[in-house]
Chains A and B, each alone.
Chain A
Amino acid sequence: DAGVIQSPRHEVTEMGQEVTLRCKPISGHDYLFWYRQTMMRGLELLIYFNNNVPIDDSGMPEDRFSAKMPNASFSTLKIQPSEPRDSAVYFCASSLTSPGIGDGYTFGSGTRLTVV
């Protein structure tokens, strides 16, 4: 398995533009998580899915952010309109439904978003 795959690796966009980040989880993993990493706040959980259904989106900053998981192998995180304060590294991670004791997450390489 190639692991959790995120695209693009880097995204530079102008304020006000729509941004779409993509994630392919590990096959067989049915939890998927979106995190945002910044220097000030560290890793923040934005939203997570179980069996393609959003379970907890309380970390989504505001209505400009939305996430979907149309099937077990694909998820998107969309920001519309984007703002400079959205600049961060966005990580996707996946996990098993019933993780064995001691099992953690597998993370993607992240998307570095810069909004100018």
Chain B
Amino acid sequence: AQRVTQPEKLLSVFKGAPVELKCNYSYSGSPELFWYVQYSRQRLQLLLRHISRESIKGFTADLNKGETSFHLKKPFAQEEDSAMYYCAPRLGGTASKLTFGTGTRLQVTL
């Protein structure tokens, strides 16, 4: 079955510490992978996508096909990074349905 797993519901780190939000998927084929972020009482917004190999707000995510993972990383956490983060795979083609993981709440404390 196609599934995405974010094993941590809550991740609490100190400001300046490295962050890694885990995401594992089990999909046949080659899905596109996205990370979405939801700041407090705001709408979900696209953070980054694996195809772009970009760094947004200091975050990066590398697709590891061998481990079927797409972990989100940042070397130094900031207070403003506190939010809910959702990993979302999508199969390619015109079927653009995104399936979201259960999300990880990142809490950055001083």
Interface residues of A (CB under 8 A from B): 31, 33, 35, 41-43, 45, 48, 56, 91, 93, 95-99, 101-102, 104-105, 107-110
Contacts and interface: CB of A to CB of B under 8 A. Distances in A.
Interface stretch (B19-27, B64-72, B75-83, B97-105): B97-105
12 contacts: A42-B86, A42-B103, A43-B103, A45-B97, A48-B97, A93-B44, A96-B96, A99-B96, A101-B92, A102-B51, A102-B52, A104-B88
A105 B98 contact: yes
Contact of B44 (A41, A48, A91, A98): A91
Closest 9 CB pairs between A and B? A42-B102, A43-B100, A102-B51, A104-B46, A107-B44, A102-B49, A42-B103, A107-B43, A109-B43
A97 B94 contact: yes
B94 to A, nearest CB: 5
Given A93-B44, A104-B98, 11 more contacts: A43-B86, A45-B97, A45-B99, A45-B100, A97-B94, A104-B36, A105-B44, A105-B98, A107-B44, A107-B45, A109-B42
A56 B43 contact: no
Contacts of B34: 104
Contacts of B46: 104-105
A35 to B, nearest CB: 8
Contacts of A42: 86, 100-103
Interface of B: 32, 34, 36, 42-46, 49, 51-52, 86, 88, 92, 94, 96-103
B51 to A, nearest CB: 4
B49 A56 contact: no
Central interface residue in A42, A43, A45, by most chain B CB within 10 Å: A43
B32 A108 contact: no
Contacts of B99: 45
Contact of A98 (B32, B94, B98): B94
